[in-house]
């Protein structure tokens, strides 16, 4: 009897811990410890070749009056909200179109929309720079050939921001589409049949069945897309270098510049901490807004 209890304890407590241990070790080593190091650095003045010096909250105080940081912060928020909303809608629409096995060649379409998600964002950025370039870009070349005025895709601030949002959505919609397809295919078909018998319209079925049943998938997409958008770097640097001016410069690029060009690692860490807090707040809001469990059985 005593022996059985001990065995039960091993299976219920120790075994799960042992299974989790490798992941916890990697997570701790590469995420948790660097995060705490970053926090510690944010209270320091430190360059690569200069000794660390504790400066308390000075870095955070300086951030308050750093005009460029707040421009990049505002740009990040605009980009993040726009891309997350567009990604959510576009990937859901694609999933709705391609999840019911009703369109001919549906699998080929799925693969086509998913392929951009497999391409490195650096390659995506370079390719789109060639497409959208003012003088050497393909689109403007075609416009000129057709006697239309070329468009300042990347040299006008508003157009440049719009361009990076569109390219981001193009590059990532396929990835989230797959998540939505999985979510949609998990919804029991009987629910739709019952709704049809009750005379519900397609929109009513979508509103009353699809959306509620997809709530957890929507939450995952929202959280992942938000985190991804706040961390956007490669695509932007290769496509616009943050320009024109500060028009598409985001916090991550500013962190890189301050750390590796200006050699102010402490100050850059304080920027990263602010970014981390903002991402955490956004994620929490999303959890609060969509996370309440409901039963549809």
Partner 1 sequence: MKKLMLIMVSILLCSTVVFASGATEGEEDKDVTLSVMWFNDANESDVFLDTIDEYLKANENVKVDMQVVSFSEYEQKLKLMISGGNPPDIARVTNNHLSSLGSSLEPINNYVDDISAVEDMFMPGSIAFAKDGDNLLAYPTEATANGMLVNLTAWENAGIDVKKLSKTWTWEQWEEAVKEVIKANDGMKYGLALDFSPHRYSTILFEFGGRQMNLDQSEVEFTNEGTINSINWFKRLHDEGLIPSSVWLGSENPAELFQAGLVACHIGGSWNINTYNTNVKDFEWCAVNTPKEEIRSSVPGGKFIASFKDSENKEEAMKLMAAFSSKESNEKYCADTFNLSARVDTDVPYISNKEDFTVFSEDLKVTPAFTALEWKASSLNKVYSYIREQIVQVLMGNISAEEATMNIDKEAAKF
Give the interface with partner 1 as residue ranges (CB under 8 A). 48-49, 68, 129, 133-136, 152-155, 157, 160, 240-241, 243-246, 257, 260-264
Give the number of other Cβ atoms within 10 Å of residue 146's Cβ: 7
Helical (H) or strand (E) element with 291: none
CB of 136 to partner 1, least distance (A): 6
CB of 128 to partner 1, least distance (A): 12
In the complex with partner 1, the residue whose CB is nearer, 120 or 185, is 120
In the complex with partner 1, the residue whose CB is nearer, 10 or 260, is 260
In the complex with partner 1, the residue whose CB is nearer, 5 or 147, is 147
Residue found under tokens 């958008």: 229
CB of 118 to partner 1, least distance (A): 22
The residues, ordered by sequence, that sit 6+ positions from 243 with a Cβ below 8 Å of its Cβ are 154, 160, 249
CB of 271 to partner 1, least distance (A): 14
CB of 285 to partner 1, least distance (A): 32
CB of 43 to partner 1, least distance (A): 18
Helical (H) or strand (E) element with 182: helix 157-185
In the complex with partner 1, the residue whose CB is nearer, 106 or 263, is 263
CA distances from 2 to 6, 15, 29, 141, 154 (A): 7, 19, 38, 81, 73
Contact present, 268 and 38 (Cβ < 8 Å): no
Classify residue 257 by its DSSP letter. Answer: I
CB of 80 to partner 1, least distance (A): 22
In the complex with partner 1, the residue whose CB is nearer, 148 or 287, is 148
Tell how far CA 59 is from the center of its chain: 27
In the complex with partner 1, the residue whose CB is nearer, 208 or 231, is 231
The residues, ordered by sequence, that sit 6+ positions from 129 with a Cβ below 8 Å of its Cβ are 137, 154, 238, 239, 240
Question: In which region does residue 138 sit, left (phi positive, over 0), alpha (psi from -120 to 50) or beta (all else)?
Answer: alpha
Helical (H) or strand (E) element with 45: strand 44-45
In the complex with partner 1, the residue whose CB is nearer, 92 or 258, is 258
């Amino acid at each position: 009897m005593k022996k059985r209890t001990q065995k039960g304890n091993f299976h219920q407590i120790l075994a799960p811990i042992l299974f989790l241990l490798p992941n916890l070790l990697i997570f701790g080593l590469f995420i948790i410890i660097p995060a705490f190091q970053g926090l510690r650095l944010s209270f320091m003045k430190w360059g690569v070749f200069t000794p660390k010096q504790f400066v308390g909250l000075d870095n955070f105080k300086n951030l308050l009056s750093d005009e460029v940081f707040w421009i990049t912060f505002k740009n990040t928020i605009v980009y993040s909200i726009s891309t997350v909303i567009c990604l959510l809608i576009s990937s859901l629409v694609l999933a709705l179109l391609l999840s019911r096995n009703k369109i001919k060649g549906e699998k080929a379409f799925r693969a086509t929309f998913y392929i951009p998600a497999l391409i490195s964002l650096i390659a995506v950025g370079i390719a789109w720079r060639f497409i959208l370039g003012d003088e050497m870009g393909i689109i403007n070349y075609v416009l000129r050939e057709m006697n239309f005025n070329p468009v300042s895709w990347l040299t006008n601030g508003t157009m440049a921001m719009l361009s990076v949002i569109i390219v981001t959505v193009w590059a990532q919609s396929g990835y989230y589409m797959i998540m939505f397809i999985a979510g949609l295919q998990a919804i029991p078909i009987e629910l739709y049949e019952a709704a049809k018998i009750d005379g519900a319209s397609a929109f009513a079925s979508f509103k009353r069945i699809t959306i509620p049943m997809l709530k957890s998938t929507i939450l995952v997409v929202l959280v992942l897309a938000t985190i991804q958008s706040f961390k956007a770097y490669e695509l932007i640097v290769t496509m616009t270098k943050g320009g024109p001016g500060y028009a598409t410069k985001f916090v991550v690029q500013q962190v890189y510049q301050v750390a590796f060009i200006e050699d102010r690692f402490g100050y850059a860490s304080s920027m990263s901490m602010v970014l981390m807090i903002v991402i955490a707040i956004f994620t929490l809001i999303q959890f609060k807004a969509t996370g309440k469990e409901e039963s549809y059985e």
